[in-house]
Amino acid sequence: MKIDLIIQNGSTVYYPIIEEGITLEWDRKGTPGKLKFSCIKDDVLSFQEGNPVKLSVDGTDIFYGFVFEKSRSGRTPYLIEVTAYDQLRYFKNKDTYVYSNKKANEVIKMIAEDFGLKTGKLEDTEHVIESRTEDNATLFDIAQNALDETLQAKTKLFVLYDNVGKLTLQNIENMKLNLCIDMDTAGNYSYSSSIDRQTYNQIKITFENKKSGKREVFIAKDSANINKWGLLQYTDKVEIATNGAAKAEALLKLYNTKTRSLSISDALGDIRVRAGSSVIVKLGLGDINIQSYLLVEKVTHKFKQNQHLMDLKLRGGTFVA
């Protein structure tokens, strides 16, 4: 495995000596890609915050971003610890937008143009948002709100990420990998099952009838699970009375189950894996055997001493991140 990390300061390109390995983190939403490494300060190396950084593995570029933080300690003054972020770091900026008749991909393109960010392929999200006002919101929230509305309307989940210096929007259905995580490749795993998070066996939906001045109540429940777990109730409301019963049944179907969490540590690394990818997981977890695609909610790639490992946080089905 050949790893190349370069830092450019003006017209000068540096290949710093890296110590203590390299980590690259990607989250599915709301967080920029983060590259961390430590390099040795010599008489030649000179770089500043804002300088671009690029990481390549075996000739394939996998990260392009900018130095945001440098630090040293008294014990190792010769060592510079560096944190670099990709373009999505600038989505922490806040702004106010009022827009109408735009699709989520068009909203993201609008933001990128306004803030001078480079874009790559932004998939057509299809759903047109009639109008929306975002007041003093982060660019992350503005983009995610548009994507959430698209998810509700089209049941299609899109992931916004920076692909080596270009903002990219992709449907998760197009991000499945032919990669299997099993006991031979997983390293280790952490698994838990719970009825303490997002588990409800009774749904109560209310409708405020303004004409009659009365509150109408719609309830869906699973008596068998109430006997097993006790009463776990979720409440919500609707604006239209005819939607009450249907929403109660839909939410019961969604929440009337155990929730599970699964994290993989020190799996064999694959540079194709990013947050939003789906990988095949084949593991026996004691009370459940899993053999299906799971969505990568977060991945941390770890490069050290000619070794590439990765930590994964997974979700899908009853598995929540």
Domain end residue (candidates: 85, 102, 130): 85
pLDDT of residue 68: 98
CATH number where 17 lies:
2.30.300.10
Domain match, 16 and 117 both: no
Domain match, 311 and 182 both: yes
Domain match, 120 and 233 both: no
Domain match, 186 and 285 both: yes
User: Does residue 320 belong to any structural domain of this protein?
Assistant: no
pLDDT of residue 246: 87
pLDDT of residue 235: 95
pLDDT of residue 209: 85
User: Does residue 148 belong to any structural domain of this protein?
Assistant: yes
- DSSP alpha helices (H): ranges in the chain? 104-114, 139-154, 223-229, 244-255
Domain match, 184 and 290 both: yes
Question: Do residues 131 and 113 touch, judged by C-beta distance below 8 A?
Answer: no
Written as tens digits, the pLDDT of the chain (321 aa) is: 899 999 999 999 999 999 879 999 999 999 999 999 999 999 999 999 999 999 999 999 999 999 999 999 998 889 999 999 999 999 999 999 999 999 999 999 999 999 999 999 999 999 999 999 999 999 999 999 999 999 988 889 999 999 999 999 999 999 999 999 999 999 999 999 899 988 999 999 999 888 888 889 999 999 999 999 999 999 998 887 777 888 899 899 989 998 889 999 999 999 999 999 999 999 998 888 889 999 999 999 999 988 999 999 999 877 876
Domain match, 18 and 147 both: no
User: Does residue 230 belong to any structural domain of this protein?
Assistant: yes
Element (H, E) at 201: none
Question: Do residues 104 and 147 touch, judged by C-beta distance below 8 A?
Answer: yes
Domain match, 22 and 95 both: no
pLDDT of residue 134: 96
Q: Which residues contact 137 (CB under 8 A, 6 or more apart)?
A: 94, 95, 96, 97, 145
CATH number where 287 lies:
2.30.130
Domain match, 11 and 72 both: yes
CATH number where 145 lies:
3.55.50.10
Number of domains in the chain: 4
Q: Cα–Cα distance between 301 and 86 in angstroms, integer? A: 15
Question: Do residues 309 and 267 touch, judged by C-beta distance below 8 A?
Answer: yes
Q: Which residues contact 248 (CB under 8 A, 6 or more apart)?
A: 203, 204, 205, 218, 219, 220
User: Does residue 266 belong to any structural domain of this protein?
Assistant: yes
Domain end residue (candidates: 85, 112, 134): 85
Q: Cα–Cα distance between 84 and 42 in angstroms, integer? A: 20
- DSSP alpha helices (H): ranges in 73-217? 104-114, 139-154
User: Does residue 165 belong to any structural domain of this protein?
Assistant: yes
Q: Cα–Cα distance between 63 and 85 in angstroms, integer? A: 9
Domain match, 79 and 16 both: yes
Question: Do residues 219 and 226 touch, judged by C-beta distance below 8 A?
Answer: no
Helix (H, G, I), strand (E, B) or coil at 171: strand
Which of 266, 269, 305, 270 shows the shortest CA–CA distance to 20? 305
Domain match, 114 and 163 both: yes
Domain match, 58 and 119 both: no
User: Does residue 29 belong to any structural domain of this protein?
Assistant: yes
Euclidean distance between the first and final Cα of the chain, in Å? 31
Q: Token pair 């590259």 is at which residue?
A: 35
Q: Which domain holds residue 220?
A: 202-255
User: Does residue 321 belong to any structural domain of this protein?
Assistant: no
User: Does residue 246 belong to any structural domain of this protein?
Assistant: yes
Domain end residue (candidates: 52, 85, 118): 85
pLDDT of residue 321: 67
- Joined tokens for residue 111: 């933001």
Predicted structure pTM score: 0.86
Domain match, 270 and 247 both: no
